[in-house]
Structure 1
Amino acid sequence: MPGLPEGHLPQPFDAAFLDNPYPGYAQLRDESAVHQVALSDGSPIWLVLREEDVRAGLTDPRLSVNKAHSGTGYKGFSLPPALDANLLNIDPEDHQRLRRLVSKAFTARRVENLRGSVRAAVDRLADDLAGQGGEDLVSTFSLPLPLMVIGDLLAVPEADRRRFSTWVSNMLTPESPRQIKEAVENIHTFLLDLVAARRDALGDDMLSALIAVRDEGDQLTENELVSLAFLLLMAGSENAQHLISAGLVTLLQHPEQVAELRADPGLLPEAVEELLRFAHPNQMAIRRFPIEPIEIGGTQIPAGATVMLCLASAHRDPKRYPSPDEFDIHREDKAHLALGQGMHYCLGAPLARMEIQIALHTLLHRFPQLDLAVPPQQLQWRTSFRSRALKAVPVTLR
């Protein structure tokens, strides 16, 4: 496949592939470390599949995340400028400055102080789930939980949380492109107003800490504050939502390991690390663009091309993980790439781990008879070449 002329590239990401992509990734990975393929819209990408190359690519300074280096004029999500200049798509000099400032506010102590509110949110949603006798785990539990946590992190006023949650849901799971545009506009305006209000009355929340942080006289600009709040909202909501759902489905298909987790809750952190490898929703890392011609896995890639580092393939690479398609909470090597690597390692990783651990622990121990209400093969997935997320998870509490 490598080197096929543009316009004649294979398009592997059809519905059948996305329904269960792992066999497809295995076949591609066996054929070549890198493939040039086309997305469904015909745009060409270079797909990097082997764990060694993906891990190296995540920290290679020649692979820029800045869309300005795209040779095809890629514009991305069409965010307002105030939301677009965030840590996900800026390169080292500006990234390190922002990360240094954010790290002063996003401390381990601040995350640990959220533990009580995370437990309270999980218990409240577990009550709702019990009140319904089960039904859908996604809409009742895993979808609202991260939004409640982010609401606490940013101290979103209680009166605003319902509409805030609606906008986020419409942005992440839209029914139309117009719905995305309207949701982004509403969130942008809301965050601008929230930053302005917080400037007038600083509190003990993350947004206040970001406003107050200083580093040798440097501080965050208004646009940087708003874009960081938006990033916390995006990254802190979507991945946790999907991993709680997919994680529980994975666990329920391995009852012997669930029994171990119920008998020894101390195993849960290790189980979550294996879930991050085995069931993480993100199939790809964020797009990268070579700032110069580069060789990956023996393949020459031109400057400005679009490079996609395939996390899902890397996490199932047998050269790194023995029996990679098996879920095993006792796996010795759990050094996954789900939370990034190097400069782009997720600042919110401790919060994400805490949230997922508390959620799964509560579900497994509060509902000892918890099970899927339908066979796993009947579950429906919302799929794209970037991510896989369960639309619903019908459960029974018996």
Structure 2
Amino acid sequence: MTATPDTVGATGPNLMDPEFIADPVAGYNRLREQAPVVLGTRMDGGPAWYVTRYDDVRAALGDTRFVNNAKAVEGMVVENARDKIVEQFGVPPELMPYINESVLDVDGADHSRLRKLVSRAFTVRRVNAMRPRVEQITAELLDTLTDPTDLVRDFAYPLPITVISELVGVAEAERPQWRQWGAEITSFKPGSIGPALTAMVEHTHGLIERRRAEPADDLLTELIRVQDEEGDRLSEVETVTMVITLVMAGHETTAHLVSAGTLALLQHPDQLELLRNDPSLWPAAVNELLRWCGPVQVTRLRYAVQDVELGGVTIKAGDAVQAVLVSANHDPREFTDPDRLDFTRRPTGHGDGHVGFGHGVHYCLGAALARQEAEVALRMLFDRFPRLSMAAERPEWIPVPGIRRLAALPLHLG
């Protein structure tokens, strides 16, 4: 079968479809059972291929014929959908590089160069060395909780933003503002993203100047050293963009994993009892939670640099592709009884056993840190408050596309 956006048109599923936002697992499960690759509409209204099944998602994410930057498609002009999307949400043109040219968005040599500059801070060995500090921060936050508490506000957000801020070099007094900027940027509300990003960029430029004058033992100081001593390896815009990317990516999704993981444990007391009887299951539990309720539903758009056969269709050079992680992680072709939360489940031989952190060259840089923070946070939370319970009848989810976020999680401590 050969089909292209030129011949079929921009129809079919859309990230903005209410069923995908209200219940991503059920909605994308239905899409996956229609076909492994489905032509649909991306957020800016243009066409995109939705890749829905586990094997095809891994194939797409691991295939270097798909790139994140539309400019990397040689021999043709490909419209960058991400530029159009952020423009629709009020981001001025001069700020586009700060949001669309990060280590998450570039490919090839530029991606390798940027990733190498910070990857040493996120190795398993370095992350393991951070564990005592993560445990200390967690204990201090648990000490501050009062009954009832909103876990999202009082615990799930403060923990990862404290950890990543200490690692990067963001002062304690500035962290609430970063959280507010992050909330505004990820709200997808027209009129809020542009001003928040403007303030964030200006603040980061100032932060860099302060750190240049007063070096410290943090990642920002190392980035400044590279920029000053080896300017061809890192520009000023790239330095600012890296700081923004690390702080944003380093706390947003981890916060959602901790809050959604807490809800999952409260809704599955049998699995929580397994952990209480055998604490050695905690690493496996976090891995299963990443598969079952990982916050990232879809990847960034990718573009075919040449014609690619995938899932029975021909994806033409220049076509946009959207890999659907949530449907891949619930694919019965890969997982037995996939909609069941099971902490005794073991990886099937494909890396993590899920694609919650993506796959291929853009695999999540902070995966080891996110796993550790989630494990420490959830384990210490339920150890400290063994009678933790819901303080509201139904959890409130934020209705945004592509990511599953709790607005609040009111809990009784016991």
Question: CA separation in 1, counterparts of 2:123 and 2:225?
Answer: 14
Q: Which structure 2 residues correspond to residues 1-398 of structure 1 after superposition, within 5 A?
A: 5-6=8-9, 8-9=11-12, 11=14, 13-39=16-42, 42-68=45-71, 69=73, 71-74=78-81, 75=83, 76-77=85-86, 78=91, 79-129=95-145, 131=146, 133-173=147-187, 176-213=189-226, 219-333=233-347, 335-375=353-393, 378-398=394-414
Question: CA separation in 1, counterparts of 2:200 and 2:20?
Answer: 34
Q: Residue type of the partner of 1:23?
A: A
Q: Deviations over 1:338-397 (max 9, x none)?
A: 11222112221121111111110111100000012234xx22212333111111112112
Sequence identity (%): 39
Q: How many residues align?
A: 392
Q: Residue type of the partner of 1:115?
A: R
- Contact 1:45 1:306 (8 Å CA) reproduced: yes
Question: CA separation in 1, counterparts of 2:15 and 2:157?
Answer: 30
Q: Deviations over 1:181-240 (max 9, x none)?
A: 1111111111111122222232211212233359x9664222222111111112111110
Question: CA separation in 2, counterparts of 1:150 and 1:339?
Answer: 18
- Contact 2:10 2:40 (8 Å CA) reproduced: no
Q: Deviations over 1:255-295 (max 9, x none)?
A: 12212212332211110000111101111011101112221
Q: Residue type of the partner of 2:330?
A: R
Please state how far the C-alpha of 1:100 moved relative to its aligned partner.
2.2
- Contact 1:48 1:307 (8 Å CA) reproduced: yes
TM-score in terms of structure 2 length = 0.87
Q: Return 5+ residue gaps in structure 2 as ranges.
A: none
- Contact 2:298 2:324 (8 Å CA) reproduced: yes
TM-score in terms of structure 1 length = 0.90
Question: CA separation in 2, counterparts of 1:138 and 1:100?
Answer: 32
Please state how far the C-alpha of 1:21 moved relative to its aligned partner.
2.7
Please state how far the C-alpha of 1:91 moved relative to its aligned partner.
0.9
- Contact 2:36 2:53 (8 Å CA) reproduced: yes
Q: Deviations over 1:152-194 (max 9, x none)?
A: 11222233333333323332347x4322211111111111111
Question: CA separation in 2, counterparts of 1:123 and 1:200?
Answer: 34
- Contact 1:13 1:385 (8 Å CA) reproduced: yes
Q: Residue type of the partner of 1:189?
A: E
Q: Return 5+ residue gaps in structure 1 as ranges.
A: none
1:114 match: secondary structure: helix
Question: CA separation in 2, counterparts of 1:240 and 1:12?
Answer: 22
Q: Deviations over 1:127-151 (max 9, x none)?
A: 232x2x0332111111222222222
- Contact 2:307 2:315 (8 Å CA) reproduced: yes
